[in-house]
Structure 1
Amino acid sequence: MGLSLPVPVITIGLLIASNVFMTVAWYGHLKFKTAPLIVVILVSWGIAFFEYLMQVPANRIGYGHFSAAQLKTIQEVISLSVFAIFSWVYLGERVGWQHGVGFALICLGAWFVFHDWS
């Protein structure tokens, strides 16, 4: 008996995982300012490879259940969520009220994308 997860669960799970890799690839090196730029680029590309291994299947699996605009919106909300946690936990940056307001407005925009106006 195989475990069959719903398309939204698979899609969102893969998008979360891919965004963790993407965020580490793009911003993880900021703590290593003395590392040579070429090394940082090559390591980031290596990490980003795993991001693509999850991002592409997430979009392939999710498309049809979600529209392309909905997939992109889900990805952006996840990306900002992952980044906020990463910048707070890993980089030690403060997350202020203005970030919360901005994120709430983005979520409001996502609601408009997902709302059926017909």
Structure 2
Amino acid sequence: MPVILQSTLLLIASNVFMTFAWYAHLKNLSAKPWWIAALISWGIALFEYLLQVPANRIGYTELSVSQLKIMQEVITLSVFVPFAVFYLNESFKWDYVWAALCLLGAVYFMFRS
């Protein structure tokens, strides 16, 4: 499997965990004290790190740190928007589209030769 694909798939999986760690408590634990939400989030984030660290180490064999970071940001937005809309029942906003277009510009500048 190509290095970029390995890194991308691991980053997607890590982002799913991190998105839940950062935001799921807003829906599921809003009645609990913040420190309970923090402890649960840290537990979820552990799985994110177990995927994210190897993703970056694998990706760094062929990509620069800047390219890895931009890839991470694109994946973050790609995971966050469906999470916000379908899991948190937020309304879809055109700002998501404009942000995605800005990120595509960032991808272009980071990945051009």
Q: Where on the TM-score scale, by shorter chain, does this alignment land: which range?
A: over 0.9
1:64 positional shift:
2.3
Structure 2 match to 1:33? 30
5+ residue gaps, structure 1, are none
Bigger CA radius of gyration: 1
TM-score by length of 2: 0.95
1:107 positional shift:
1.2
For 2:11, what is the secondary structure of its paired residue? helix
Query: What fraction of aligned residue pairs are identical, expressed as a percent?
Result: 51
Aligned residues: 112
Structure 2 match to 1:20? 16
CA distance in 1, matches of 2:76, 2:96: 14
CA distance in 1, matches of 2:94, 2:17: 26
Residues 80-113 of structure 1: CA deviation (Å, up to 9, x unaligned): 1101110001001112222211211111111111
Structure 1 match to 2:50? 53
Where in structure 2 are the equivalents of 1:44-83 lying within 5 Å?
44-83=41-80
5+ residue gaps, structure 2, are none
Residues 7-30 of structure 1: CA deviation (Å, up to 9, x unaligned): 111100000000000000000000
CA-based RMSD: 0.9
User: Where has structure 1 moved over 3 Å in runs of 4 or more?
Assistant: none
CA distance in 1, matches of 2:104, 2:90: 22
> Counting helix residues as a fraction of each chain, which structure ranks higher?
2
TM-score by length of 1: 0.91
